[in-house]
Amino acid sequence: MTSSNSSWSFVFVTHLKRDFLINFRSLIDLVSIISFMFLIIILFILGVGPFKEKLEIIGNAIIWVGLILSIIPSLEKTLQKDFENGWFDQLATSSIPLEIVLLSRSISYWLIVMIPFLFAAPLFIILLNIELKAVPWLLLTMTIGSLAISLIGLNGASLILGAKRGNILLPILIIPLVIPILIFGVGVNEAIKMEADPISNLLLLVAFTLIYLVISPFISALLIRIAIAR
């Protein structure tokens, strides 16, 4: 049986399926994200020295910086592979908007990063001596924040498509844009630690993420169209 089904939801779901298959088959990339994050945290712990109090003060910041830095190296590959193998040319022959495809790509990338992170989170929480009452908030903010980082990251990855030294450019492009996410994400966790109200920071974090969710697929689609036209 054959049928034409050009509904956006159909394309969204089928692209998610494709991205999941590809990413879970290159398990080494997933493992490298978590291993890299683990190493960053270990480096901080060793750098701070045997002072539990110091670690308690900067623990939230370390875990956030670790997440941001570990996501960036894998971002380049997510689009570069499909650009080099000609998949984006094929996408340009689809009547489905490229924006829908890129939204699906951001969501799949986010889930692929977040699922292993959530599994590894207990280890990071123990290592950084984070209080138990702060854990649900930390996981919530990092889940929201990582969506924003994935969306911004995909914009950066689209911009460097075909560039020769893209891997060097990518962190320079992305890091300034994720600063608001870092500030409000850490802000929520710090408020919890000080027993203050975290809602205002949380709402700002959600607001930034929603803004990126709306504009990011359009920016990526525009950049990819330019890359295809080169």
Partner 1 sequence: MLQLDSVSINRGNSVIFSNLKATLNTPGLNLIRGKNGSGKTTLLRTIAGFIPIESGKVIYNRKDITFRKNEWVKKIIYVDSHNGLSEDLTVFENLEAWLNMKGWSSSKQKVTEALKSLDMDKYSNIYISKCSEGLKKRAALVRLYFSYIFEVKFWLLDEPSNGLDQASILLFKKMITNFLQQNGTIILTTHDKNLFNEKHNVINLDLLKELRAK
Return residues touching partner 1 (CB under 8 A): 1-7, 10-11, 14-15, 18, 21-22, 25-26, 81-82, 84-87, 89-96, 101, 228-230
Let me know: does 208 contact 72? Beta carbons within 8 Å.
no
Tokens of 203: 């709402």
Which helix (H) or strand (E) covers residue 222, if one does? Answer: helix 199-229
Please report how close the Cβ of residue 22 comes to partner 1 at its closest, in angstroms: 4
Nearer to partner 1, 101 or 191 (CB): 101
We find the least distance from the C-beta atom of residue 31 to partner 1, in angstroms, to be: 15
- Asked if residues 64 and 186 have their Cβ atoms less than 8 Å apart, the reply is yes
Tokens for 213, please give them: 């969710």
In the complex, least distance from residue 1 CB atom to partner 1, rounded to whole angstroms: 5
Residues 8/96, Cβ–Cβ less than 8 Å: yes
- Token code pair at residue 11: 């394309």
Name the nearest CA neighbour of 106 among 52, 56, 146, 55.
146
Q: 86 — alpha (psi -120 to 50), left (phi > 0) or beta?
A: left
Q: In the complex, what is the shortest distance from the CB of residue 85 to partner 1, in angstroms, rounded to a whole number?
A: 6
21 versus 172: smaller Cβ distance to partner 1: 21
What are the tokens at 223? 């950049």
Name the minimum Å distance from CB 99 to partner 1: 14
Choose between 38 and 87: whose C-beta lies nearer to partner 1. Answer: 87
In the complex with partner 1, the residue whose CB is nearer, 120 or 225, is: 225
Kindly report the length of the chain: 230
Cβ distance to partner 1 smaller for residue 86 or 136: 86
